[in-house]
Amino acid sequence: MPTDFPSPDTRYPIRLPDGTDHVGTVFLRAVIDHPRWQVGDYSYASSEAPPEDWAHRLAPYLYAFSPERLVIGRFCQIADGVQFLTASANHRHDGFSSYPFAVFHRRFEGAASLPGPGRDTVVGHDVWIGAGARILPGARLGNGVIVGAGSVVGGVVAPYTVVAGNPARVIRQRFAPELVARLEAICWWDWPIDEICAHEDAICNADPARLARAAREVAQGRRP
C-alpha cells in the first residue's frame, strides 16, 4: 500500500494535532531556489523563528554569483541556528593583511586582497546537524554523520562519525568499520519512499541482518 509520507516538494511536511502546518520545519527542496544550492529529497531544516529566505538564513555568504556550491544529501536533519559558512565568506590570509579591500573599492579584477575560489561544502545523506552548529567552508561530512549542538566543523568527517566541540573533534564512531561499509553499500536513502517507510524498523534499529534482509526484499521488489 502506498505511504502517506509527504512529497519532498511539500513546504511544511509536519502537521500539528490541531490540523495546522508546523511552519518552523520545512523540506529544503520546497523552499530553496538558489543556483548554488543542491539539496536532496526529504532533507529538512527547523527554526524557532522561520525566515522568509531559508537559503540566506542557512548559508548567508553563498551568493548567486559564488563559484562554490553547497551540496546536501537526502534525509538530512538541520536544527535551529545552523549556518553553513561557505567559501565566499573567506578572506585571503596568506599575506600580511586579511582585509578585503576589493569589496570596498569594487575593482575586483585581479585584486590582490581577494582569495581564489574555494571548495564546495558537501553534506552526505542522513546527516544530523545539531542546533547552532557552524559548518566551515569546504567541509565534507560523510553519510550518517552526527554533529553536536554548537559545534564548529571543518575538514573531512568520515561516514557515521559523531563530532562535537569547537573545533569539532571525534567523539566516537557510530558503528564498526565493516558495518559502515555495509551501510554505505545498502544506501537505503536511495530506495523509493514507500519501501523506506515499509522497512522503517529495519532502518532505525541497529540490526544489520534485518537491514540486509530488507535490502534484499527491496531489490527483489517484495514487501514485508
Taking residues 213-223, report their average pLDDT: 85
pLDDT of the residue at 222: 57
Do residues 156 and 212 both lie within one domain? no
Taking residues 97-109, report their average pLDDT: 92
Whether 131 has a pLDDT exceeding 60, the answer reads: yes
Whether 224 has a pLDDT exceeding 80, the answer reads: no
Digit-coded pLDDT (tens) for 157-202: 999 999 999 999 999 999 999 999 999 999 999 999 999 999 999 9
pLDDT above 70 covers a percentage of the chain that reads 97
Whether 151 has a pLDDT exceeding 80, the answer reads: yes
Q: Which of the following is catalytic: 91, 93, 125, 199?
A: 91
Domain that holds residue 124: 1-174
Last residue of a domain, one of 136, 154, 174: 174
Quick one: which of 133, 148, 138, 27 has its CA closest to 83? 133
Instruction: Please state the domain count of the chain.
Output: 2
Last residue of a domain, one of 174, 198, 216: 174
Taking residues 1-10, report their average pLDDT: 82
Taking residues 94-105, report their average pLDDT: 94
In our burial notation (b when 16+ CB lie closer than 10 A, e otherwise), range 189-206 reads bebeeebbebbeebbeee
Do residues 170 and 181 both lie within one domain? no
| Mean per-residue pLDDT over the chain, rounded | 95
Taking residues 61-77, report their average pLDDT: 97
Last residue of a domain, one of 174, 194, 209: 174
Whether 65 has a pLDDT exceeding 70, the answer reads: yes
pLDDT of the residue at 223: 53
Do residues 7 and 97 both lie within one domain? yes
34 is a catalytic site residue: no
Q: Could you tell me the CA-to-CA distances from 51 to 47, 62, 70, 109, 203 in Å, in that order?
A: 8, 16, 19, 34, 32
Do residues 15 and 34 both lie within one domain? yes
Do residues 121 and 16 both lie within one domain? yes
pLDDT of the residue at 1: 42
Digit-coded pLDDT (tens) for 16-50: 999 999 999 999 999 999 999 999 999 999 999 99
CATH number at residue 55: 2.160.10.10
Q: How confident is the model at residue 2 (pLDDT cuts 50, 70, 90)?
A: low
| Rounded Cα gap, residues 119 and 137, in angstroms | 7
